[in-house]
Amino acid sequence: MRTLIRGGTVLSSTGAVTADVLVDGETIAAVTAPGMLAGQNVEVDTEFDATGKYVMPGGIDAHTHMEMPFGGTFSADTFETGTRAAAWGGTTTIIDFAVQPKGSSLLSTLDNWHEKADGDCAVDYGFHMIVSDVNDATLKEMESCVAAGVSSFKMFMAYPGVFYSTDGEILRAMNKAADIGGTIAMHAENGIAIDELVARALAEGRSEPYQHGVTRPPELEGEATSRAITLAKVTGSPLYIVHLSAAQALSAVAEARDEGQNVFAETCPQYLYLSIEDLGKPDFEGAKYVASPPLREKHHQPDLWRGLRTNDLSVVSTDHCPFCFKDQKELGRGDFTKIPNGIPGVEHRIDLLHQGVVAGEISLARWVEACSTTPALMFGLYPRKGVIAPGADADIVVYDPAAEQTISAETHHMNVDYSAYEGMTVTGRCETVLSRGSVVVDRGTYHGRAGHGRFLERDLCQYLN
Ligand code: URP
Ligand code: ZN
Ligand code: ZN
Ligand code: ZN
């Protein structure tokens, strides 16, 4: 099965070139000057005319939570519905977080996540491991995780009593990661201090969703980020700060990077476009925007865009963690601490970040880099993923930069009853999406199949200094 994508502007992290892309089976066979293959008797089964369109490597969303247990419920997208929605938005790889429950092993956790995902995904997928129970057995099992293609481990400085790890536990896990070449991904908020602010708010009768933002101030993200960086420095472990939202945290990351430490960070579209004002929407609507770290005051946003330009923020992921407004967010009416934390977004990451290109905040190359090439390198998938080049998997998006669309829960494909971006009109849209050579989406029609997606055994981080 051969597919030719003709005459598009082929994007990479270094720029753009007009070219034809030939796909043979599951991989890219050639990237040539336009028309070059015409005289060479190459038979193709399908052709796409990409004139005036971008041809870019499929998106890699390195931070999703499908079917994740949280606060007595589960995030609303299954691997099937979540990867289908991802494909609609041009994301052809997700890396989801397997969650170790306290008292259980990492390998049984991994089995559990395979059970959820295997045979259900429309696009390729990998796993990170959330380590919530640090002990000798867990530390030893980190080696087996790396051998099984799970080379990154998320830890929490937030959520005491749930996922939280002490500094000592973090130090131990980082030592192990440094030994075996793993990466520590960190949820950096000072959960101990936050719990005090939360207790005071509730005692004073401040229980509405807005208080979620008030009780998790940006300073406590900055402090935790600095502490994580220090622990990583002492141990020599690579560190990847997840869902960075605050200017204070960005400063800490930038300083460490300027000194050459292997510290990296991602931000998410919600921190670039939404704000704490959304948490204050009346009639409990603010609950739709409860995620941790919380949405910040708008003045953080220019800093985040600058971070994306300077590569102090290297990746944009979604932290896709959907909970329905009607029956799940509802659990926290009258007590904001019981609102399941998370915002849906896997479908719109590429479109939302494209608005940064339209607005002149970032270049086309940075868009592709932050959405695809760097996550591939960061999480050991390059050059199989993250680039349009001969030999790479044919995960390809034909993107129409001139199309307009309005984001709405009525038209999105995520299994959740609201959109955090309801009514927002964006410029650009995925026209055709290929996953390993198979057409998954084409001009508004879905051709994908649950079970097409394969588990990706990932290598170690390829992005180290
Ligand atoms: O609120 C969030 N971010 N929910 C998902 C879990 C996490 O901390 O990433
Ligand atoms: Zn987190
Ligand atoms: Zn810098
Ligand atoms: Zn998350």
290 lines ligand 1 (CB under 6 A): no
Are 89 and 123 in contact, with CB atoms under 8 Å apart?
A: no
Q: Candidates 317, 319, 323: which one to mutate for ligand 1, based on the most atoms within 8 Å of Cβ?
A: 319
Are 415 and 322 in contact, with CB atoms under 8 Å apart?
A: yes
- State the ligand closest to the CA atom of 310: 3
Atom number in ligand 1 closest to CA 159: 8
341 lines ligand 1 (CB under 6 A): yes
Architecture of domain 2-56+384-446: Roll (2.30)
Could you tell me which residues are beta bridge partners of residue 183?
152
- As a whole number of angstroms, the distance between CA 213 and CA 293 comes to 8
- State the ligand closest to the CA atom of 292: 1
DSSP letter for each residue of 252-307: HHHHHHHTT--EEEEE-HHHHH--HHHHT-TTTGGGGG--SSPP--GGGHHHHHHH
- As a whole number of angstroms, the distance between CA 460 and CA 168 comes to 24
Give 187 Cα–ligand 4 centroid separation in angstroms.
Answer: 8
Atom number in ligand 1 closest to CA 156: 8
342 lines ligand 1 (CB under 6 A): yes
Give 68 Cα–ligand 2 centroid separation in angstroms.
Answer: 12
Give 31 Cα–ligand 2 centroid separation in angstroms.
Answer: 39
Phi/psi region, residue 252 (left: phi>0; alpha: psi -120 to 50; beta: rest), is alpha
The parts of the chain modelled with pLDDT lower than 70 are none
Give 167 Cα–ligand 3 centroid separation in angstroms.
Answer: 26
Domain with CATH 3.20.20.140 in the chain: 58-378
Mean pLDDT (the chain, rounded)? 98
Check residue 41 and give its pLDDT.
85
Beta strands in 334-380 (DSSP E): none
The H or E element spanning position 156 is strand 152-156
Tens digit of each residue's pLDDT (9 = 90 or more) over 76-134: 999 999 999 999 999 999 999 999 999 999 999 999 999 999 999 999 999 999 999 99
DSSP label of 50: -
DSSP label of 100: -
Are 272 and 250 in contact, with CB atoms under 8 Å apart?
A: no
245 lines ligand 1 (CB under 6 A): no
83 lines ligand 1 (CB under 6 A): no
- State the ligand closest to the CA atom of 64: 4
- As a whole number of angstroms, the distance between CA 42 and CA 2 comes to 9
Give 94 Cα–ligand 4 centroid separation in angstroms.
Answer: 13
Give 319 Cα–ligand 4 centroid separation in angstroms.
Answer: 4
22 to each of 139, 191, 372, 412, how far by Cα in Å?
Answer: 45, 51, 20, 31
Atom number in ligand 1 closest to CA 63: 9
Domain with CATH 2.30.40.10 in the chain: 2-56+384-446
Q: Which of 220, 100, 75 is nearest to 153 (CA)?
A: 100
212 lines ligand 1 (CB under 6 A): no
- As a whole number of angstroms, the distance between CA 203 and CA 42 comes to 73
Angle at 309 between CA 308 and CA 314, to 5 degrees: 40
Give 39 Cα–ligand 3 centroid separation in angstroms.
Answer: 49
* CATH code at 58-378: 3.20.20.140
Q: Which of 419, 459, 462 is nearest to 89 (CA)?
A: 419
Are 47 and 6 in contact, with CB atoms under 8 Å apart?
A: yes
For residue 393, count other CB atoms closer than 10 A to its CB.
26
- State the ligand closest to the CA atom of 256: 3
- State the ligand closest to the CA atom of 317: 4
319 lines ligand 1 (CB under 6 A): yes
187 lines ligand 1 (CB under 6 A): yes
For the chain, how far is it from start to end, CA to CA, in angstroms? 40
Check residue 62 and give its pLDDT.
99
Whose Cα sits closest to atom 1 in ligand 1? 291
65 lines ligand 1 (CB under 6 A): yes
Whose Cα sits closest to atom 4 in ligand 1? 342
Whose Cα sits closest to atom 7 in ligand 1? 292
Whose Cα sits closest to atom 9 in ligand 1? 319
Give 159 Cα–ligand 2 centroid separation in angstroms.
Answer: 9
Atom number in ligand 1 closest to CA 290: 1
